[in-house]
Amino acid sequence: MFHLLQSGFFWWPVFLAVFLGLAAARPARFASFVVLAVLLGFFSGLSHKDGLIGFLWMLYGAAFVVFYVPWLRRLLISNRLLSFYRRSMPEISATEREALEAGTVWWDGELFSGNPRWQQLLDLPAPKLSAEEQAFLDGPVEALCGMLDDHRICNVDKDLTPETWRFIKERGFFGMMIPKQYGGMAFSNMGHAAVILKIASRSISAALTVMIPNSVGPGKLLLKYGTQAQKDHWLPRLARGEEIPCFALTGPEAGSDAGALPDVGVVCKDGQGTLGIRLNFEKRYISMGPIATVLGVAFKLEDPEHLLGEKTHLGITLALVPAKTPGVRTGTRHDQLHMAFMNGPLYGKDVFIPMDMVIGGVEQAGKGWRMLMESLTDGRAISLPALSTATAKLATRVTSAYARVRRQFKLPISQFEGVRESLARLAGNTYAMDGARLTTLAALDAGHKPAVISAIVKYNLTDRSRQVINDAMDVHGGAALSLGPRNPLGTFHSYPQMGVTVEGHNILTRNLITFGQGAIRCHPYLLKELQAASNRDQKAARRDFDAAVMQHLSFTINNKARAFLHGLTGSHFIAVPTAPMALKWHYQQLTRMSAAFAFVTDVLLLTLRGEVKRRERLSARMADIISQLYMASAALKHYYDQGNQPGDLILVDWVCRDSLYRIQQSFDALFRNLPSRWLAASLRCVVFPLGRPYRAPSDALENQLAAAILRPSAERDRLTAGMYIPGDMQEKVKLLDEAFQKAVETRGLREKLKAAARDKTLQAKGDAQITEAVQKGLITPGEAAALRAAENLRREAIKVDDFADLKTHS
């Protein structure tokens, strides 16, 4: 026995286990040193001739010196690392720096830390509508939705009706985000999003029309950066809808790379000696551009005659240009994939604007890029998620109803497993999207401006809107293709492509922005290291870098140890919120994957360094992992905020399982494509020490999801809450809802007739069968009437449109 204790077979695993345990638990550093010293001392006593113990003592001594003799540590380690850093870390351009500095870090920072504090997320107050916002939704928004005929808007008029335009302007829809002192409604982000969502569930084109002045339109920029005179002049006019704004950044040569815009403004004086800017620009895809009365224009400002100061190239600047200014040309439209909101090019040739048209005045000249980056959050985190979720809610509502009333092979198509698969994805994705949308709104309303999260929700929600529309259209079959008032989805089919493209195309957002910026912005130490490395004061640089890098080192070791140990132990020992117990496993697995993500982030940054920017596909997989961590954690928060509704447990379960599975797939693809096989194998061993543990949601779970929306249920209502449901039976959404309701109510009667037909009690078919059933006393006349009413509604609900005025021959 003593011999066994002396052998390395005993003490080596014990030493490793204690070391890993200390690294994972991260007690006070000195305590760790004491524990390891006692352990090594004990093993030395047992096995004093073992050379490996001597080697470990040497390592221990080196580590002790590194941590407790700062001057030696700097000399041997951190100063060298600093030089290495300066040589190899990616260069950050001025525009990238401004993008990095915009906004704040919130839950994204927790996920990047590897040890998210769940209680903090759950404690964030759920977003709420004020009484005023609710009244606006129930009054003017409900009325506006009633005025909208999306088929006519998109396929016939290509515009809203004049009455609708008037209503939108007069009822203050353009001033939702403008403070009351300027005549606006001062809505919260939640209020704004709820209005956009409800309108969007009726008509995307109308929602875009309302959305643009409230998000990208220069109202918010004016509020934040405008001079008092600019605010006093423009904000009341914008709130009253007297001025229609647009914001023009994109041009033929400046799309994704918007910072490279070639439009130039030159500081000069006009004939009367007024100091101003002579501006030339060519813009395209500008929403509201064709009818805007005031254009927010981004351009590069030059001051060759030094009329403003020393600098010649002042940089990107934003100015307000009234559309009537000589030299401005507007009025033509792009046809954006059959959506009918106003969008078109803008041109400016030698347009002279006085200096006070620069947003924020001359002090803000050249600071436009930062202003733009800071205002991106609105479109990305509020408007596009509202549009995408509206699409999902509508798709879920009408598709679940249609699947119940559409019959093929003598059965409602909802009974076929293939259709249930699409229905389950619809329900699960809608829950995930609503959770991410509302959790992000909670953060915004609490004053956070999370730039990386806004990129995550933009890219993931617009991407999922593609999936939900495809699923919904698949289930509708030909009924989804035949355009007309009877098709509730046809005009929504174009939306996802637009959502994916605007505010930073998803390919760019996924491959370049999310992880590229997130790793620097949200990492607890990297930005500090980069800032220290770029400090010209060498003494301060070395001191700050040393402090950051030492913390970084123990952070990386800790995450590695935790990821590995949690992988070995099934993560059962992770302390997480425990209510309800059914979700404990999800919290634990997400914490484990967050630790793995944080560790792999560090390894990638260390091994790929500047290459990280160019290896977009690796970066995209990391973006997918952080995205899924966010989507799942938002679903858990959503479940909690909605009062832990037991019926929704299957939905949150589906979202978390789906996310964990996707995380696993992304890690797997990342490891397969790493340039170094050795590195890939060792990372795989840390992240998945016992193999890949996650499975995609099972068929059984998906069947339960489909079943939950295939009956009138609280779950179905919660999933589709906030969308517009018309009251008029002529409207397809209402008709489908009623037909669905009646189909469910009469199901038992239909089963009865079916059984009677099977045993030949009933001989007749179709409507005659109902008559025969009454005659034979199988059902009452009242039940027969209910069956007939349900069948009539069903027949009505599956009808599609045809048009006499469409050309039928050449």
Give the residue numbers marked as catalytic.
503
Residue nearer to ligand FAD on the CB measure, 155 or 554: 155
788 vs 765: CA distance, rounded Å: 13
Q: Specify the DSSP element, H or E, that contains 768.
A: helix 766-775
How far apart are CB 335 and ligand FAD at their closest, in Å?
11
Strand partners, 354: 276
Residue nearer to ligand FAD on the CB measure, 264 or 798: 264
How is residue 21 written in tokens? 């345990």
Main-chain dihedrals φ then ψ at residue 238, nearest 5 degrees: -70, -40
How far apart are CB 724 and ligand FAD at their closest, in Å?
22
Cβ contact 353:160 at 8 Å: no
How far apart are CB 207 and ligand FAD at their closest, in Å?
13
How far apart are CB 101 and ligand FAD at their closest, in Å?
21
Task: List Cα–Cα distances, 111 to 105, 108, 114, 603, 626, in angstroms.
Answer: 11, 5, 6, 16, 7
Cβ contact 284:334 at 8 Å: yes
Residue nearer to ligand FAD on the CB measure, 450 or 499: 499
How far apart are CB 503 and ligand FAD at their closest, in Å?
6
How far apart are CB 543 and ligand FAD at their closest, in Å?
36
Q: Which residue, among 432, 468, 471, 457, has the nearest Cα to 654 in the 3D structure?
A: 432
How far apart are CB 174 and ligand FAD at their closest, in Å?
15
How far apart are CB 355 and ligand FAD at their closest, in Å?
23
Which residues are CB-contacts of 89 (< 8 A; sequence separation ≥ 6)? 530, 533, 609, 610
DSSP helix/strand/coil, 488: coil
601 vs 717: CA distance, rounded Å: 40
Task: List Cα–Cα distances, 720 to 117, 172, 382, 389, in angstroms.
Answer: 30, 26, 18, 9
Tell me the chain's radius of gyration from C-alpha atoms. Answer: 31
For the chain, the residue count is 810
DSSP helix/strand/coil, 560: helix
How far apart are CB 334 and ligand FAD at their closest, in Å?
8
574 vs 588: CA distance, rounded Å: 6
Residue nearer to ligand FAD on the CB measure, 232 or 257: 257
Residue nearer to ligand FAD on the CB measure, 342 or 778: 342
Residue nearer to ligand FAD on the CB measure, 345 or 490: 345
Residue nearer to ligand FAD on the CB measure, 380 or 638: 380
The answer to whether the peptide bond before residue 697 is cis (omega within 30 degrees of 0) is no
Task: Report which DSSP code applies to 696.
Answer: P
Strand partners, 300: 264, 316
Tokens 């800790």 belong to: 558
Cα torsion at 748, 753, 755, 759 (round to 10°)?
160
Q: Are strands 294-302 and 245-248 parallel, antiparallel or unpaired?
A: parallel
Cα dihedral across residues 156, 157, 158, 163: positive or negative: negative
How far apart are CB 631 and ligand FAD at their closest, in Å?
21
Strand partners, 348: 281, 328
Cβ contact 652:583 at 8 Å: yes
Which residues are CB-contacts of 164 (< 8 A; sequence separation ≥ 6)? 144, 147, 148, 206
DSSP helix/strand/coil, 322: strand
Main-chain dihedrals φ then ψ at residue 670, nearest 5 degrees: -60, -50
Helices of type H across 414-537: 417-445, 451-476, 478-481, 495-501, 506-508, 514-521, 526-533
Question: What residues make contact with ligand FAD under the rule CB under 6 A?
Answer: 216, 246-250, 255-256, 285-287, 336, 343, 498, 501-502, 505, 507-508, 511-512, 616
Task: List Cα–Cα distances, 297 to 40, 220, 233, 246, 253, in angstroms.
Answer: 69, 14, 18, 9, 15
How far apart are CB 193 and ligand FAD at their closest, in Å?
19
Q: Are strands 294-302 and 264-269 parallel, antiparallel or unpaired?
A: parallel
How is residue 130 written in tokens? 């004020």
Which residues are CB-contacts of 390 (< 8 A; sequence separation ≥ 6)? 196, 197, 198, 199, 200, 201, 204, 207, 722, 723
Task: List Cα–Cα distances, 135 to 6, 174, 176, in angstroms.
Answer: 78, 17, 13
Side chain identity at 604, as an amino acid letter?
L
Strand partners, 346: 283
How far apart are CB 170 and ligand FAD at their closest, in Å?
24
Q: Which residue is nearest to ligand FAD (CB)?
A: 255
Strands (E), 259-293: 264-269, 275-287
Task: List Cα–Cα distances, 410 to 60, 384, 706, 773, in angstroms.
Answer: 76, 41, 20, 19
Task: Report which DSSP code applies to 613.
Answer: G
Residue nearer to ligand FAD on the CB measure, 124 or 204: 204
How far apart are CB 214 and ligand FAD at their closest, in Å?
13
Side chain identity at 360, as an amino acid letter?
G
